[in-house]
């Protein structure tokens, strides 16, 4: 499906592939693309046929160069920008990706800057091409990186987060991997294959269990351990038909046939 805003969505074998498709603008995100991303993630998050989501960009130059500054510069964006960071009539794009109940893998096929970096931070797993660069240059443009300010120091040491935010410089994929910001770096020509393989490994497992993991980590990650251990969020795998199927498949020495219930 092509949304008409530079976003394509395809669902195949329980994996939804969302691609930012504005290569001429380095997959920059304008207000229409932002709206369609929110709608796509909201819809796929509720789609029982989808067990994992792969987010990437078109071409090999950029995952996303960030917010479309041409639109910000050329059009009257005063009202929309005044409602930032978390106001306005529509849910925040990064929040929707972060809170999507399905596992999200970002295939970072090039530069991920500003809002593009924040989109990658909102994913659960980040796999980057070796030529990719990532960073938050908002300090160079008088912008805010509200989401990045909160997510970055939860993913890497605080001092390194300050360095990235204060300097606004992009770092290499290898540096991002060394800092723990990426799960892995792969040859550029292998990125699509590697990112899809990760999604396939995820959807080969019980979807209720995987979704439970995401809900528990998302809601319990900042709690004291005594409180986190008592959380009961997300789907319950212990009472599911898939739990019975998984045990039966092990005993019978066959592959499980998951139903997602």
The answer to whether residue 99 is catalytic is no
The answer to whether residue 74 is catalytic is no
Catalytic residue among 75, 79, 99, 118: 118
Which residues fall within 8 angstroms of residue 103, CB to CB, at 6 or more apart?
51, 52, 53, 124, 125, 199, 202, 210, 211, 214
Which residues fall within 8 angstroms of residue 235, CB to CB, at 6 or more apart?
208, 211, 212, 215
Our separate counts of H helices and E strands in the chain read 12, 10
Catalytic residue among 99, 130, 138, 252: 138
Alpha-carbon gap, residue 135 to 220, rounded angstroms:
27
Annotated catalytic residues are 118, 138
């Amino acid at each position: 499906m092509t949304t008409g805003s530079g976003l394509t969505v395809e669902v195949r074998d329980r994996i939804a592939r969302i691609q930012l498709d504005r290569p001429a603008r380095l997959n920059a995100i304008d207000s229409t693309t932002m709206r369609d991303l929110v709608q796509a993630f909201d819809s796929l998050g509720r789609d029982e046929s989808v067990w994992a989501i792969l987010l990437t960009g078109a071409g090999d130059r950029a995952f996303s160069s960030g917010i479309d500054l041409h639109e910000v510069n050329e059009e009257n964006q005063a009202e929309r920008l005044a409602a930032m960071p978390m106001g306005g009539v529509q849910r925040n794009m990064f929040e929707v990706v972060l809170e999507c109940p399905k596992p999200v893998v970002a295939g970072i096929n090039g530069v991920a800057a500003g809002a593009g970096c924040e989109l990658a931070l909102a994913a659960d797993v980040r796999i980057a091409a070796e030529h990719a660069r990532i960073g938050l240059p908002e300090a160079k443009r008088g912008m805010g990186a509200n989401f990045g300010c909160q997510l970055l120091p939860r993913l890497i040491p605080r001092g390194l987060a300050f360095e990235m935010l204060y300097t606004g410089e992009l770092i290499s994929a290898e540096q991002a991997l060394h800092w723990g910001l990426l799960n892995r770096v792969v040859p550029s020509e292998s990125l699509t294959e590697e990112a899809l393989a990760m999604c396939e490994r995820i959807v080969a497992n019980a979807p209720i269990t995987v979704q439970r993991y995401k809900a528990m980590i998302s809601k319990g990650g900042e709690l004291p351990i005594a409180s986190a251990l008592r959380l009961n969020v997300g789907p319950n795998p212990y009472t599911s038909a898939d739990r019975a199927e998984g045990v039966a498949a092990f005993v019978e020495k066959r592959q499980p046939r998951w139903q997602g219930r």
